[in-house]
Amino acid sequence: MDFLDTYHLWADAHAFFEAPIIPGPAGTGDPLAEQTSAWDTRLSQETPNGSLMRSNALFDSLSGSGKLHLLHVTHALEEISKDGILYPSGGCLVGSIYCAPLTVTDNGYRMHNLGSYVLNKEAPAFLKKVGKPERTPTPLIFEISVPPQAYRGLAGVDYLRLGAIHLNIYSHLEYLLSKAERHQLRETIVSRTKNSAGFLALASAVAHQGAAVSSHSFLQLLDETIPRLPILGYIYFEALAEYLMLHSTSGRTRRAAEHGEFNNWLYKEMLFASFPHMAGKFDLAKFRPSPGDLDGLLTQVDATVDPAHAREYLVERISYLVAARLFTPGQIPEAWHHRRWEFDSLAAQLGPLLGHLIHRELRTFGRYPDFYFYFDQHKALQAWNYWNHMDIVVPFNGTIPKGEVGINPAYPDLEYRVWLAEQDAAGQLVPTEQLELTIAPRLVDIKYTLMRNNQWTTPTPSAA
């Protein structure tokens, strides 16, 4: 695939948050264009915290000039300092140093509520879980010098849109598998999809035809389908997290909004309340809170949200995301019972879904786990190439501007300084010692990340 085609794929994998204010051309042929516009209006204008979709502290800092200050949390400073190198990790930010924003104050740096959760709750919980409670998570402050040519727009990578990229990369690397293994993988993917046609057809009917369905039936079928289509666990999590952040009116949420921040504690608490074993080891493919327990979970996390309203929202939002992120753009799969259940035929209409399934399957498929690092490294190289083309120094998670940001490790002449920091009595970070650390444009092997083991890097909450 030439650069132009790869550029298009990566451009489509980013959410351009300034774009919806510009009227799009008529007759684009996008069957979801009207729903996309309606969702943009609904999220930003018809929810208690919708104004943060366009106006927030993160966007203010990214579109400005000068210096950016970011928090990176590690619990392996000694190991990192030994070589003086910090490697990026994969996940929702593809191949970057996972960070959260910091705000300069008279007395130090105020943490974004995402960063405070990771530093004070999530990382300690992980260390306790792996039997190393004596270790202390270490906050590092990065000061990034933003060059004059840096992109001032708001383009965030949305990992739910990476399906077509996963499929394309596999098409280039599939010969790392034997002919028998390739056949087995294709058959596995087709079988998973075929046996999930009931849910896919239902979501398509809701999204494209406005079909009415009870939330109980929808969520029950979703729950049954997630084990076959793990990407649905990610979509479910993102839709539920989005709902909580947009609709909560709690005191913590209001205080976060005063700082221009979504309340990230909501989805963190939701995740660990329902799956406490996921502390520091996110596996959203297994995110499937029991439909019967959903109301109680929502009430436990935030009593200000309405569970009945949340369920109806989830039916519509998940259906839209399935159609928009898992179906080939422009396609409306119909006549499900007449479908040819063959890989190439399905790829024409469900290409992104197949890409997500392949990406997930390869983690445990035959000999391929030995090569999986190169699959994600290949993806990171493409992302870095696109970010450098766009002069994106600090990418961010574009599913919704939560506050998840990264440092592009491959940016030419990246200028940064790093400090070891301590937290004062008021909860602010105070730099104590400048460190000589180099950011290297090479992914750390997934077996060394905190997602999988207990070394080297920070947990990545929405790892794809």
Do both 149 and 193 map to the same domain? no
Domain membership flag for residue 374: no
What is the predicted pLDDT for the residue at 3? Answer: 52
Do both 342 and 404 map to the same domain? no
List C-alpha distances in Å: 163 to 157, 281, 349.
13, 22, 12
Cβ neighbors of 88 (< 8 A, separation 6 or more) are 95, 96, 97, 98, 380, 406, 407, 409, 439, 440, 441, 442, 443, 444
Do both 341 and 243 map to the same domain? yes
Please name which of 122, 79, 158, 101 lies closest in space to residue 458, comparing C-alpha atoms: 122
Domain membership flag for residue 3: no
Among residues 316, 345, 366, which one ends one of the domains? 366
What is the predicted pLDDT for the residue at 129? Answer: 80
What is the predicted pLDDT for the residue at 27? Answer: 54
The string of DSSP codes covering 387-439 is HHHHT-SS-BB-SS-SS-EEE-TT-TT--EEEEEEEE-TTS-EEEEEEE--EE
Please name which of 11, 27, 30, 29 lies closest in space to residue 19, comparing C-alpha atoms: 11
Do both 183 and 327 map to the same domain? yes
Please name which of 231, 211, 338 lies closest in space to residue 285, comparing C-alpha atoms: 231
Domain containing 318: what range? Answer: 178-366
Do both 249 and 279 map to the same domain? yes
Do both 293 and 190 map to the same domain? yes
What is the predicted pLDDT for the residue at 160? Answer: 98
Tell me which amino acid residue 261 is. E
- Evaluate whether 55 touches 339 at the Cβ level (below 8 Å): no
Please write the tens of the pLDDT for every residue from 361-412: 988 887 777 778 888 999 999 999 999 999 999 999 999 999 999 999 999 9
DSSP annotation of 170 reads H
Do both 247 and 122 map to the same domain? no
Secondary structure of the chain: what % helix, strand, coil (to 5)? 50, 15, 35
How far apart CA 87 and CA 91 sit, in angstroms, is 13
How far apart CA 400 and CA 27 sit, in angstroms, is 27
Do both 304 and 208 map to the same domain? yes
Q: Residue written as tokens 């921040």?
A: 261
Domain membership flag for residue 206: yes
Domain count within the chain = 2
- Evaluate whether 82 touches 437 at the Cβ level (below 8 Å): no
How far apart CA 287 and CA 295 sit, in angstroms, is 16
Do both 121 and 212 map to the same domain? no
Do both 444 and 340 map to the same domain? no
Whole-structure pTM value: 0.92
Q: Which helix (H) or strand (E) holds 139?
A: strand 138-146
Cβ neighbors of 368 (< 8 A, separation 6 or more) are 176, 177, 181, 362
Domain membership flag for residue 339: yes
How far apart CA 23 and CA 86 sit, in angstroms, is 42
Which two three-digit tokens encode residue 119? Answer: 């530093």
Domain membership flag for residue 371: no
Domain membership flag for residue 184: yes
Do both 118 and 226 map to the same domain? no
Q: Name residues of the chain where pLDDT drops below 50.
A: 1, 21-22, 448-464
What is the predicted pLDDT for the residue at 460? Answer: 38
Q: What angle do CA 140, 142, 148 make, to 5 degrees?
A: 175
Do both 106 and 210 map to the same domain? no
Domain membership flag for residue 170: no
Tell me which amino acid residue 207 is. A
Domain membership flag for residue 36: no
